[in-house]
Amino acid sequence: MGWKNYELITFGCSHTYGTGLPDCWNGKSHGPIPSKFAWPAKLKENVNFKSVNNRSLPGSSNKMIAKEIIEYPYYTKQSVVVVLWSNFSRVTIYENENDRMHMLAHMIKKSHINKFPKVWWQWHSNGDVDDFKRKIKTYYEDFYQEFDAIFDQMIRMNYIHAFLSNKGVKSFHLLSEHSFGEHKSYFNKFMIDTIKCKTFNWKDDFHIDDAADKPQPHPGLLSHSTFATKIKDWYFK
């Protein structure tokens, strides 16, 4: 099948946005637009899509990714969607269409509490930072359950697949196998039969090399280029 008349639309978190790549790191944070070296741009070149629209947002939870997919208004029958889903443990609670409380599990670690500037905490909390830190600790220590997060993601992916199919849009999904813990068989058992979902190995398929935001780097140039080639082989030969 030829793809030259199709627009590639991608969704995900910083690993899709290209955080840490040469044009997407200012020494403290990612750039204002997705990197031209990130895997979506490379995949566009490799497959010869007509265009690419990288709709990812660094730090996104899977609920945030799903919301972005649902609210995107410009799908056509010539759209192809590729979603690199994020870590299942990221949690977003929406107060309304725009305001949210966004939590990442590593935020409760003492090594991270004082690592990030106040503006970073404010962006995630949309409110009082100290109160937000208390809520994070309470949520992950008293309420978070791995199976519940995996069950939520199973429902979310099934819905997004059906939502896009109903619009005549082809979608392809990517998940890191470490996301499942011990519940992968349950997850797979209840997925819609027609969904195209590739479970990949993080180190083997999207190895983190020396990105600009080291010593804790996101994937670098070689990683994104390699990952784009693998996605082509998995879905667009």
**What residues make up the domain containing 134?**
102-143
Q: Are residues 222 and 185 in the same domain?
A: yes
Does one domain contain both 133 and 155? no
Over range 161-166, report the average pLDDT.
98
Is there a single domain that holds both residue 15 and residue 127?
no
Over residues 64-75, the pLDDT tens digits come to: 999 999 999 999
Residues 222 and 167 in one domain: yes
151 and 137 co-located in one domain: no
- 59 belongs to a structural domain: yes
Strand partners, 83: 11, 173
Residue that has been written with the tokens 């793809």 in this structure: 3
Q: Is residue 1 part of a domain?
A: no
Mean pLDDT of 176-196: 90
**pLDDT winner (highest mean) among 19-33, 35-49, 195-209:** 35-49
* Contact partners, residue 72, CB within 8 Å, separation at least 6: 9, 55
Q: Among positive and negative, which fits the CA dihedral 182, 183, 188, 189?
A: positive
Residue 182 and residue 83 share a domain: yes
Task: Give me the CATH number covering residue 207.
Answer: 3.40.50.1110
Residue 161 has pLDDT above 70, yes or no: yes
pLDDT above 90 covers a percentage of the chain that reads: 70
Q: Check whether residue 137 and residue 39 sit in a common domain.
A: no
Same domain for 184 and 84: yes
In the predicted structure, residue 195 carries a pLDDT above the cut 80:
yes
Predicted confidence at residue 29, as pLDDT, reads 83
Query: Over 70: is that where the pLDDT of 226 sits?
Result: yes
Residue 56 has pLDDT above 80, yes or no: yes
Q: Looking at the predicted structure, is the pLDDT value of residue 111 above 60?
A: no
Report the pLDDT value the prediction gives residue 85, as an integer from 0 to 100: 97
**Any domain includes 223:** yes
Q: What share of the chain is helix, strand, coil (3-state, %, to 5)?
A: 45, 15, 40
In a domain, 193, yes or no: yes
* Tally of domains in the chain: 2
Is 230 found in the same domain as 187? yes
Contact 19, 63 (CB under 8 A): no
The pLDDT, as a whole number, for residue 151 is 95
Would residue 41 count as lying in a domain?
A: yes
- The tens digit of pLDDT for each residue in 112-158 reads 666 666 666 766 666 677 888 888 889 999 999 999 999 999 999 99
Residues 177 and 201 in one domain: yes
Between CA 55 and CA 12 the distance in angstroms is 7
Same domain assignment for residues 139 and 167: no
